[in-house]
Amino acid sequence: MAEYAIELKGITKRFPGVVANNNITFSVRKGEIHALAGENGAGKSTLMNILFGLLVPDEGQIIINGKEEKFSSPRDSNRAGIGMVHQHFMLIPKLSVMENVIIGQEPGTSLKIDRKKAVEEVQAISDKYELNIDVTKKVGELSVPEQQRVEIIKVLYRQADILIFDEPTAVLPPHLIDEFCDILLSLKEKGKTIIFISHKLAEVMKVSDHVTVIRRGEVIGTRAICDTSIDEITRMMVGHSVDTGRKSRADIKPGKEVLSIKDLHYTNVEGNEKLKGLDLSVHEGEIVGIAGVDGNGQEEMEKCILGLFKPDSGQILFNGEDMIGHTVKERRDMGLGYVAEDRQKESLVLQYSVAYNLILGQHYLPAYSKHGFWLKKDAINENAEKLAKDYDIRLANIQVAAGTLSGGNQQKIVIAREANNDPKLYVAIQPTRGLDIGASDSVQDTLIRLRNENKAVLLISMELDEILAVSDKIAVIFDGKIVAVVDAATADKESLGYLMLGSKKGGNE
């Protein structure tokens, strides 16, 4: 018998322009709970998708139970005994728990699925692992934590011995996390091997035997839990703050308050409360950076500000006027510039020319149209020529389709357009994601310039380095609330890391 359930040796996966996994090597013992920790974008998901057969690595070996395997689809990894509990559940709400579990491996004959036997088998799994699910219920009637347990049953039904959990506690309310940890421990007791991906170090410390930390696609190290501390793991995750690369800026005093969010609550369609009384304030002449782990309410806050989501309660004051109830267009007219997260889906019409994209959402303004009806082609082109020059958008000419440009140049279009209409508040979401260093720098410089011009800037980013480099103030978002606001000039990465991960140490709540 091999000692290790999983051995990964030298796994490397490259995407165009990025090395997502670089020479990753670590091993998971049989029957242990092995945590995989790392910041967003560190390469954990890529690694797990490789292990699950959704991605094929460029280099390296996967050894399962002492035998080298090559996975080209989830079917292959299933066969090797690997099952995955996805962060976004793969379930069909309309069907019963039992039906969701047995898909693809139904008992009985092809003419008649043996539903009675299926119910018995699936219920037996639920009972054996004390998952407490009525398998005849429809999945849609179950709560999110219960659905997660259905995913676990599904994996167990497929006789997986190695279970991968992708951010399992992200969907759980705090009071159920202990219960979930018990489930993990009970699975371990029954001989399963578990890989557990998480940001939440408290749980990692509680249930894991070992933890491997990944940063920027590389393994930083593996520690036995008994030999390490939250402090050490945090340091490993965020790295040593050698040089924050903080951007120089004009020394100006913040002016009056432009954006003021008060006690904002928002519940999504699934009934989860994603914003739980969020307060935030942004003044003229300052950049407020929102630091936080993905999924703590950033998206909901952004969309409430833009006007795509309607909050349950609370206020979003813009220069003293409540924006709630106003349409997106009205908010933009009031002076909101908004750089959306996904430039291709949310910000650009890829088939439109660069010139046309540079006026999207402003096309009806007198600058570009006569009586709001006739497009002024000359003015539109002049505007495009000017912005292309000012923002160094590199293109053959302004009439080429935006879709033909590189990501960096596409982003510059969005940055330029949103800054062009004299915004009072400039919201930028992940503005440098996927960009090379040159383009990133130029985007960040624009944010600083806007701030120096006395605009209010709100920067939302998963990259702590960026937040530290660009912001004046840093607001940490956790679990639908701003849990701390600190001065960026004196903030240190480590204590921010604690706050972002929900730990109370290092900051005041």
Contact in structure between 418 and 338 (CB atoms under 8 Å): yes
The answer to whether residue 394 forms part of the interface with other proteins (CB under 8 A) is: no
* Contacting residue, 66, 68, 73, 143, with other proteins by CB under 8 A: 73
Q: Which is nearer to other proteins, 310 or 329 (CB)?
A: 329
* Contacting residue, 3, 10, 70, 75, with other proteins by CB under 8 A: 75
The site for other proteins, by CB under 8 A, has a size of: 62
* Contacting residue, 3, 66, 70, 90, with other proteins by CB under 8 A: 90
* Contacting residue, 186, 244, 315, 369, with other proteins by CB under 8 A: 369
* Contacting residue, 19, 63, 95, 202, with other proteins by CB under 8 A: 95
- Quote the tokens at residue 46: 């890529």
Q: How far is the CB of 180 from other proteins (least distance, A)?
A: 22
The answer to whether residue 19 forms part of the interface with other proteins (CB under 8 A) is: no
Q: What is the biggest distance separating any 2 CA atoms in the chain, rounded to whole angstroms?
A: 80
Q: Which is nearer to other proteins, 173 or 366 (CB)?
A: 366
Q: How far is the CB of 399 from other proteins (least distance, A)?
A: 6
Footprint on residues 96-135 left by other proteins (CB under 8 A): 99, 103-106, 108-113
User: For residue 349, which of 419, 430, 404 has the smallest C-alpha distance?
Assistant: 404
Q: Which is nearer to other proteins, 283 or 332 (CB)?
A: 332
How far apart (Å, rounded) are the C-alpha atoms in residues 22 and 468? 26
Q: How far is the CB of 408 from other proteins (least distance, A)?
A: 18
Footprint on residues 254-313 left by other proteins (CB under 8 A): 306, 308
User: For residue 212, which of 226, 233, 193, 192 has the smallest C-alpha distance?
Assistant: 233
Q: Which is nearer to other proteins, 158 or 206 (CB)?
A: 158
How far apart (Å, rounded) are the C-alpha atoms in residues 457 and 459? 6
Q: How far is the CB of 72 from other proteins (least distance, A)?
A: 8
- Quote the tokens at residue 185: 């421990």
What is the per-residue binding string for other proteins in 29-58, x denoting contact by CB under 8 A? --------------------x---xxx---
* Contacting residue, 267, 404, 454, 495, with other proteins by CB under 8 A: 404
Q: How far is the CB of 373 from other proteins (least distance, A)?
A: 5
The answer to whether residue 331 forms part of the interface with other proteins (CB under 8 A) is: yes
User: For residue 384, which of 364, 370, 366, 367 has the smallest C-alpha distance?
Assistant: 367
Contact in structure between 171 and 198 (CB atoms under 8 Å): no
Contact in structure between 459 and 467 (CB atoms under 8 Å): yes
Strand order in the sheet with 18-29: 18-29, 4-15, 59-64, 67-69
CA 346, 429, 19, 89 torsion: positive or negative? negative
Contact in structure between 66 and 28 (CB atoms under 8 Å): no
Q: How far is the CB of 344 from other proteins (least distance, A)?
A: 8
How far apart (Å, rounded) are the C-alpha atoms in residues 412 and 2? 53
Report strand pairing: 369-370 vs 374-375. antiparallel
Q: How far is the CB of 327 from other proteins (least distance, A)?
A: 7
Tell me the window of 25-33, 250-258, 310-318, 400-408 that interacts with other proteins (CB under 8 A).
Answer: 400-408
How far apart (Å, rounded) are the C-alpha atoms in residues 489 and 228? 30
Q: Give φ, ψ of 276 to 5 degrees.
A: -125, 60
The answer to whether residue 430 forms part of the interface with other proteins (CB under 8 A) is: no
Q: Which is nearer to other proteins, 404 or 454 (CB)?
A: 404
Residues ≥6 apart with Cβ < 8 Å to 429:
298, 302, 339, 340, 341, 460, 461
**Which amino acid is located at 384 in the chain?**
A
Q: Which is nearer to other proteins, 26 or 338 (CB)?
A: 338
Q: Which residues bind other proteins (CB under 8 A)?
A: 49, 53-55, 72-75, 78, 90-92, 94-95, 99, 103-106, 108-113, 306, 308, 327-332, 338, 340, 345-353, 356, 360-361, 363-364, 368-369, 372-375, 377, 396-397, 399-401, 404
